[in-house]
Amino acid sequence: MNYDHSLAFAQHLDQTDPLRHFRERFYIPQQNGNPVAYLCGNSLGLQPKSARAALEQELNTWQNLGVEGWFDKPESGEQPWLGYHTTCKEALSAIVGADPSEVCPMNALTVNLHLLLASFYRPAGKKIKILTIKGDFPSDQYALETHIKHRGYSVADVLIEIAPHPDDNLIHTTDIQKAIIEQADSLALIWMSGLNYYTGQVYNMATLAETAQTHCIPIGFDLAHAIGNIPLRLHDWGVDFATWCSYKYLNGGPGAVSGVFIHKKHHEQNLPRLAGWWGYREDRRFEMTPGFLPAPGADGWQVSTPNILALALHRAALSITAEAGMVALRQKSEHLTGYLEYLLTRFDGIQIITPDDPNQRGCQLSLLVRKQGKKLFTYLTEQGIIGDWREPDCIRLAPTPLYNTFEDVWRVGSVIEQFYTDKMEHGLV
């Protein structure tokens, strides 16, 4: 697309945007009576207008049926709570590219990561090592360290971290592949993010999964920043397992329910797991007998009674993403992010560390602003542009296709231009 700096150009793109009506399905935060340009969906997505009604519906069921809400259909005709999680499966499977039996909404991301590591990190003999990427999200690092130590190993002896390439500070697929091949005889597991939370880089999960399969090494991905952001085909890629959060691009609310993916090839293996009663076979769950019998598919990794109110919010938000479709969302995302990149490249004080190849990024751009970066971030916030700040000098901006507009993106360029103009006039840059 050939971009233009003018407001009229941005407004024209909004008028011809086939997804423009989805913005009306969300509450846009206000500042001084005007809608902000909310470019922080990479941290917390906005509230769907359907969320309140979805929550109210389950509160009414609780009010009217009490405990029988688990088994009886409420007046709304909805499924009883006992199988409520299954009503999220169709949308989830479409978003991550899976069979419905391979996904299950449950718990929180790090809880799920611990559950999955208990099943898929099975060191034996010389194969005890875990390969990951350096500087991944801290929670992932802590979970890996926990399981390594729990098995009686030293983190220094077991954990292999692939560092960014010195030329561009990105982690290249070829470097990860090389490490997999070189360490194949000692690797018990590969675990990493599918999209880097800090740089916004998307990793080639399909290629990495293929390399892992060639060497019979299980591979899993943290999809916190990937789900609802980029198209995924977890089943076809042969990914062994994955987990994610749903409060970013899936707009499920603060601390919203997570989810897991476990490939079908593992469903009949009765893998070791940290079992809980909600993962027990549903048809025999209330027999209360000893001896764990897992439910089929990903459902067998459930542990505790699900949070129905959280699932109600999750389902309401999921339905919007599923309705828009990842193909259409991705197309708009590439244009939005490309426009933001176009507007930012004219500022010498800003370095975009996110790859410029659309195939290697989602909607987030990470900006290094080494001079007066925090002042710029504060100025953006004061002018109604909401991003987030990462110490010591990084601003992350994520134009999200469900509710952001091209005019939102144009505002970013306009406000940054004004910031530098003001500083120049006062001799501060």
Predicted confidence (pLDDT) per residue in 220-235, tens digit:
999 999 999 999 999 9
Q: How far is CA 245 from CA 251, 277, 290, in A?
A: 10, 23, 32
Whether 213 and 291 map to the same domain: the answer is: yes
Show which of 277, 297, 323 is a domain's final residue: 323
Predicted confidence (pLDDT) per residue in 368-381, tens digit:
999 999 999 999 99
Number of domains in the chain: 2
Instruction: Find the angle CA(105)-CA(133)-CA(227) to the nearest 5 degrees.
Output: 30
Predicted confidence (pLDDT) per residue in 166-182, tens digit:
888 899 999 999 999 99
Instruction: Find the angle CA(76)-CA(77)-CA(80) to the nearest 5 degrees.
Output: 105
Predicted confidence (pLDDT) per residue in 258-273, tens digit:
999 999 999 999 899 9
Residue type, 226: A
Whether 148 and 66 map to the same domain: the answer is: yes
Separation between Cα atoms, residue 153 and residue 143, nearest integer Å: 14
Whether 267 and 373 map to the same domain: the answer is: no
The pTM assigned to this predicted structure is: 0.96
Show which of 323, 358, 379 is a domain's final residue: 323
Q: Give domain status of residue 2, yes or no.
A: no
Indicate if the pLDDT at residue 152 is higher than 60: yes
Separation between Cα atoms, residue 101 and residue 31, nearest integer Å: 44
Whether 237 and 359 map to the same domain: the answer is: no
Residue 134: the pLDDT is 97
Q: Which residue has the tokens 């490939």?
A: 263
Residue 169: the pLDDT is 86
Of 66-75, 175-184, 303-312, 353-362, the poorest mean pLDDT is in: 66-75
Q: How far is CA 163 from CA 59, 132, 181, 362, 392, in A?
A: 48, 9, 16, 21, 19
Whether 288 and 140 map to the same domain: the answer is: yes
Whether 306 and 233 map to the same domain: the answer is: yes
Specify the length of the chain in residues.
429
Of the candidates 426, 423, 398, the residue with the CA atom closest to the CA atom of residue 348: 423
Whether 389 and 415 map to the same domain: the answer is: yes
C-alpha 348: how far from chain center? 31
User: What are 355's two structure tokens?
Assistant: 């790859």
Q: How confident is the model at residue 96 (pLDDT cuts 50, 70, 90)?
A: very high
Mean predicted confidence (pLDDT) in 350-366:
97
Whether 68 and 141 map to the same domain: the answer is: yes
Q: How confident is the model at residue 76 (pLDDT cuts 50, 70, 90)?
A: confident
Residue 427: the pLDDT is 58
Range of the domain at 81: 55-323
Separation between Cα atoms, residue 112 and residue 107, nearest integer Å: 6
Indicate if the pLDDT at residue 143 is higher than 70: yes
* Sheet containing 187-193: order of strands: 103-105, 259-262, 241-244, 219-222, 187-193, 129-133, 159-162
Whether 244 and 379 map to the same domain: the answer is: no
Show which of 323, 352, 369 is a domain's final residue: 323
Predicted confidence (pLDDT) per residue in 201-256, tens digit:
999 999 999 999 999 999 999 999 999 999 999 999 999 999 999 999 999 999 99
Whether 337 and 280 map to the same domain: the answer is: no
Q: How confident is the model at residue 429 (pLDDT cuts 50, 70, 90)?
A: low
User: What are 326's two structure tokens?
Assistant: 């990842």
Mean predicted confidence (pLDDT) in 292-306:
97
Indicate if the pLDDT at residue 42 is higher than 70: yes
Whether 210 and 295 map to the same domain: the answer is: yes
Element (H, E) at 332: helix 326-344
Indicate if the pLDDT at residue 424 is higher than 80: no
